[in-house]
């Protein structure tokens, strides 16, 4: 099933969203649940979590997390958003992994672990959200292994671990939900069957597929359908409006709304359109470049020009690099690990080639404080240049 097949319908409104149950491995493939003219409430900033104090007990001194927070010159105090996983110490023993989000994490103190000079206790403040319930059979492993991820330190890989965490296992309220309204919805049989049961029920999440005016998929988001309500649509006809009262928190932020409006006209064709946005808007723009466009694979040689005057944050640098090599609306990696992978054989352009980096001093200065501890304390700019050069790209900084 292709999105383009559902652009036209017997209505006066453009189809901008599809409800799809994605391929579950059977012969049917994706199953259409409905198509909608609009969605209200999709863009929402998650409410801030209440602040809590946690003590990470017994963090190994050799871990990047400890090295970052105990650095002599510039110890890291703001770890940002992160994630905690708890898994069985022996993977062969089985059992589910349990996960927590750590929001806006700040280091409050660090000190040697009593009786173990090779480990450090770290006290942090954070908003804590558990999204694996320990009830219903999801029990803490008998010999748990604690892993911590902080992208500000280690990208998408673990930053370190600890032996235990004080203050983690405590009752806390669920994050408040914000409903989503599907406006002008033409339901398909699976959605009609769900709506015939008015009481809350357990339903598999559905994918909200967001389309531009050409029918191209811009992005996909998962929506929970445990509680839904339907009524005649404000757009009239035989359409309905559907309210999902607890859709989950995987939604684009309010800052993404303006970005999406630009992309809804089609893939951007002009360079630096993302430059008008702040860091949050640029991040939303980068997320929309996941779908391409990409050209033929394996092309090498030639000279490309990177405009660095707006590459003043991480997302901006990645967007500028993607535009330089592949054109507007594309990316050459969502992070430096992905950039390195693409240099080894990714989309369209592979080394050797020449990259002329204009206004390089602007990017260097803006990213001087973005330190990557797992790469020897290099700044994000320096690490990017090093990766490109190590993979065979000739860099000309201007």
Decide: helix, strand or coil at residue 310: helix
Which pLDDT tens digit goes with each residue over 222-273?
A: 888 878 889 999 999 889 999 998 887 778 999 999 999 999 999 999 999 9
- Is 35 exposed, middle or buried (CB count within 10 Å of its CB: 0-12, 13-18, 19+)? buried
% the chain with pLDDT above 70: 86
What is the reported pLDDT for 8?
Answer: 52
Residue 319: is its pLDDT beyond 50?
yes
What is the reported pLDDT for 18?
Answer: 94
The first and second tokens of residue 12, run together, are 């006066």
Decide: helix, strand or coil at residue 285: helix
What is the reported pLDDT for 93?
Answer: 62
Residue 318: is its pLDDT beyond 90?
yes
Decide: helix, strand or coil at residue 40: strand
The sign one gets for the Cα dihedral 194, 198, 200, 201 is negative
Q: DSSP letters along 212-273, please?
A: -TTS-EEEEEEE--SSEEEEE-TT-TT-EEEEES---S----TTHHHHHHHHTTSS--STTG
Residue 139: is its pLDDT beyond 70?
no
The first and second tokens of residue 201, run together, are 């029920």
- What lies within 8 Å, CB to CB, of 378 at 6+ separation is 371, 372, 386
Mean pLDDT of the chain: 86
Residue 132: is its pLDDT beyond 60?
no
């Amino acid at each position: 099933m292709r999105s383009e097949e559902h652009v036209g319908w017997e209505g006066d409104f453009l189809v901008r969203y599809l409800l799809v149950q994605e391929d579950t491995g059977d012969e049917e493939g994706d199953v259409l649940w409905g198509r909608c003219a609009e969605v209200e409430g999709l863009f929402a900033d998650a409410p801030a979590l209440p602040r809590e104090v946690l003590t990470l007990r017994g963090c190994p001194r050799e871990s990047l997390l400890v090295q970052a927070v105990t650095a002599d010159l510039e110890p890291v105090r703001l770890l940002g958003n992160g994630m905690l996983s708890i898994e069985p110490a022996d993977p062969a023993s089985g059992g589910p992994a349990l996960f927590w989000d750590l929001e806006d994490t700040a280091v409050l103190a660090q000190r040697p672990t009593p009786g173990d000079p090779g480990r450090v206790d770290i006290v942090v403040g954070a908003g804590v959200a558990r999204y694996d319930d320990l009830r219903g059979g999801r029990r803490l492993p008998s010999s748990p292994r604690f892993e911590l991820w902080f992208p500000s330190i280690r990208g998408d890989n673990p930053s370190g671990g600890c032996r235990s965490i004080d203050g983690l296992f405590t009752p806390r309220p669920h994050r408040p939900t914000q409903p989503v309204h599907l406006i002008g919805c033409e339901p398909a049989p699976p959605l009609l069957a769900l709506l015939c049961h008015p009481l809350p029920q357990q339903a598999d999440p559905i994918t909200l597929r967001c389309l531009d005016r050409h029918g191209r998929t811009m992005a996909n988001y998962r929506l929970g359908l445990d509680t839904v309500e339907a009524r005649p649509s404000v757009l009239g006809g035989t359409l309905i409006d559907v309210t999902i009262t607890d859709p989950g928190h995987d939604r684009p932020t309010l800052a993404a709304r303006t970005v999406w409006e630009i992309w809804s006209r089609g893939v951007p064709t002009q360079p630096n359109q993302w430059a008008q946005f702040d860091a949050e808007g640029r991040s939303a723009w980068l997320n929309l470049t996941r779908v391409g466009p990409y050209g033929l694979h394996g092309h090498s040689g030639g000279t490309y020009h990177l405009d660095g005057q707006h590459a003043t944050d991480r997302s901006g640098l990645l967007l500028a690099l993607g535009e330089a090599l592949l054109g507007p609306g594309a990316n050459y990696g969502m992070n430096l690990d992905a950039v390195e992978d693409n240099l080894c054989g990714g989309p369209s352009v592979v080394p050797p080639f020449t990259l002329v980096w204009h206004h390089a001093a602007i990017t260097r200065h803006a990213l001087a404080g973005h330190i990557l501890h797992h790469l020897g304390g290099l700044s994000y700019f320096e690490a990017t240049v090093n990766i490109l050069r190590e993979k065979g790209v000739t860099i000309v900084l201007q």
